[in-house]
């Protein structure tokens, strides 16, 4: 009997595999090790270790991320984080120093990453090859200088350990983040201190197709139609700013720190609670509304002026636009002589309402048109409580399953990169080579 290549692949695929995953597309250096198990009926996984070194504190001082600064931080942090990740996964074995094979090739590979090269030449001869079967690494989209650090690091490891690399699309990673159940990784930390992750075994649930993903992050706002895992068709996208970018820019206008999304959300929530509190205290909605009007009048704003547009709400396509909304906030702020905390909170609330309204309204139309069985929201803005609550209220649960990532896995992480990498690995028609020196960072990589 002769077997086809894909039959061979299925027969000889390891049933249990360990994937080291690396994410450096923006301002988080993230590494994890997942053990993924496949039986004929089910796939399940354990997170053996998971670490993130966040650069948020650094970038906060400058109000945003500078690519070269991000790159420097990744280069500084990635090797120590890698050692910590191996150690926590119980895969770090120190031996007597061995001569590094391929050290000439390594020098060539890391000629632009001298800090990394120094770490490799000094530390790797002492580290025994661990039981890791493949390395999944983000190759784009993102900041190219930052992406290169992860890619070069992965290629150098692949060279030394002679194991394959699986290049992963960061946005695909976000989609796969929703497959991680709610219980996992509550203990994930965003500092270099880290903590032990939840190492229980979790089943990877399959999903029903057609599925639709709303990807909302600092760089993306897209509606992706999926007929199957790894089969993507973009049906809508932002024509200018991404939703997360608009959150960040509006936050900066209001004098709030980077990243702006969580800050705007916190203020908006405060504004809503204040209104509810007034209703409770004064005994009626009409009183609360008139109180709000009084407040605006007090601050020399015309009543009703905090009323932002809902760009492209009624267009027939599935595209979005957020730059007009951002500019509307700018003009509004210019008119206000005393931008106090109460008014800031009101602007945050109205901005969040406007953003959520357009995202939800367009998406609901797409869900109806394409008879969507599973709807996924992913990317940093998926952490927004208002967005989640509104979708939970508006989606018909009998027709469509709604999947959000846990809060911890909404923003950038490497667990999602390992899962997306695993599915890529399963799907690959021929085995992944080590791809040394062949993977290129692609800042604008599309799904």
Which positions touch ligand KG4 (CB under 6 A)?
A: 26, 217-219, 244, 247-248, 259-262, 265, 379-381, 383-384, 411-412
- Partner in contact with 261, chosen from Zn ion, ligand KG4, none, beta carbon below 5 to 8 Å by kind: ligand KG4
Asked whether the beta carbons of 33 and 85 are under 8 A apart, the reply is: yes
- Partner in contact with 247, chosen from Zn ion, ligand KG4, none, beta carbon below 5 to 8 Å by kind: ligand KG4
Asked whether the beta carbons of 226 and 210 are under 8 A apart, the reply is: yes
CA–CA dist 320, 333 (Å, integer): 23
Nearest approach in angstroms of CB 441 to ligand KG4 is 15
Within 336-428, residue ranges assigned H as helices are 341-369, 385-394, 407-410, 415-427
Count CA atoms closer than 13 A to 219's CA, side-chain side: 18
Looking at the Cβ atoms of 274 and 412, the one nearer to Zn ion is: 412
Looking at the Cβ atoms of 57 and 118, the one nearer to ligand KG4 is: 57
Looking at the Cβ atoms of 215 and 439, the one nearer to Zn ion is: 215
Within 35-143, residue ranges assigned H as helices are 56-60, 67-88, 103-109, 114-123
Nearest CA among 423, 432, 406, 336 for reference residue 186: 406
Site for Zn ion in 406-445 (CB under 5 A): 412
Looking at the Cβ atoms of 26 and 354, the one nearer to Zn ion is: 26
Nearest approach in angstroms of CB 411 to Zn ion is 7
Nearest approach in angstroms of CB 329 to ligand KG4 is 15
Q: In what order do the strands lie in the sheet with 165-169?
A: 165-169, 134-140, 16-23, 28-38, 43-54, 202-203
CA 124 to chain centre: 30
Looking at the Cβ atoms of 84 and 220, the one nearer to ligand KG4 is: 220
Tell me how crowded residue 295 is: count the other CB atoms within 10 A of its CB.
Answer: 17
Nearest approach in angstroms of CB 217 to Zn ion is 4
Tell me how many residues contact Zn ion (CB under 5 A).
2
Site for Zn ion in 202-221 (CB under 5 A): 217
The secondary structure of residue 92, as a DSSP letter, is: -
Looking at the Cβ atoms of 70 and 91, the one nearer to ligand KG4 is: 70
Looking at the Cβ atoms of 110 and 216, the one nearer to ligand KG4 is: 216
Nearest approach in angstroms of CB 241 to ligand KG4 is 10
Is the backbone peptide bond immediately before 242 cis, with ω within 30 degrees of 0? no
Nearest approach in angstroms of CB 384 to ligand KG4 is 3
CA–CA dist 414, 20 (Å, integer): 9
- Partner in contact with 236, chosen from ligand KG4, Zn ion, none, beta carbon below 5 to 8 Å by kind: none
Q: Does 319 bind Zn ion (CB under 5 A)?
A: no
**Which residues are at the interface with Zn ion (CB under 5 A)?**
217, 412
């Amino acid at each position: 009997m002769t077997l086809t290549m894909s039959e061979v692949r299925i027969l000889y695929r390891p049933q249990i595999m360990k994937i080291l995953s690396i994410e450096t597309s923006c301002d988080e250096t993230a590494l994890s090790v997942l053990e993924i198990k496949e039986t004929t009926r089910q796939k399940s996984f354990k997170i053996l270790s998971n670490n993130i070194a966040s650069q948020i504190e650094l970038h906060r001082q400058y109000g945003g991320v500078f690519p070269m600064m991000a790159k420097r931080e990744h280069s500084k942090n990635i090797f120590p984080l890698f050692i910590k990740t191996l150690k926590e996964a119980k895969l770090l074995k120190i031996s007597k120093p061995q001569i590094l094979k391929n050290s000439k090739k390594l020098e060539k590979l890391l000629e632009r990453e001298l800090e990394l090269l120094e770490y490799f030449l000094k530390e790797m001869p002492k580290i025994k090859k661990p039981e890791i079967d493949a390395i999944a690494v983000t190759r784009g989209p993102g900041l190219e200088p930052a992406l290169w650090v992860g890619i070069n690091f992965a290629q150098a490891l692949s060279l030394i350990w002679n194991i394959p690399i699986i290049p992963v699309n960061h946005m695909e990673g976000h989609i796969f983040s929703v497959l991680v159940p709610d219980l996992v990784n509550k203990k994930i930390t965003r500092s270099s201190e880290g903590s032990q992750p939840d190492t229980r075994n979790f089943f990877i649930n399959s999903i029903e197709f057609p599925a639709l993903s709303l990807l909302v992050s600092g760089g993306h706002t897209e509606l992706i139609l999926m007929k199957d895992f790894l089969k993507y068709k973009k049906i809508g996208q932002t024509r200018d700013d991404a939703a997360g970018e608009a959150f960040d820019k509006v936050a900066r206008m209001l004098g709030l720190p980077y990243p702006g999304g969580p800050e705007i959300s916190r203020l908006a929530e405060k504004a809503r609670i204040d209104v509810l509190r007034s209703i409770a205290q004064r005994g009626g909605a009409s009183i609360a509304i008139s109180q709000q009007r009084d407040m605006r009048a007090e601050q020399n704003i015309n009543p009703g002026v905090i009323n932002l547009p809902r760009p492209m709400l009624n267009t027939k396509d599935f595209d979005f636009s957020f730059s007009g909304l951002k500019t509307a906030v700018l003009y509004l702020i210019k008119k206000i002589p005393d931008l106090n905390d109460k008014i800031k909170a009101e602007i945050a609330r109205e901005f969040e309402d406007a953003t959520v309204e357009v995202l939800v309204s367009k998406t609901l139309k797409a869900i109806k048109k394409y008879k969507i069985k599973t709807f996924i929201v992913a990317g940093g803005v998926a952490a927004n409580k208002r967005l989640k609550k509104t979708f939970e209220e508006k989606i018909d649960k009998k027709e469509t399953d709604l999947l959000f990532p846990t809060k911890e896995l909404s923003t950038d992480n490497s667990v999602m990169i390992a899962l997306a990498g695993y599915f890529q690995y399963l799907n690959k028609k021929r085995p992944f080579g080590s791809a040394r020196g062949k993977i290129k960072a692609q800042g604008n990589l599309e799904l």
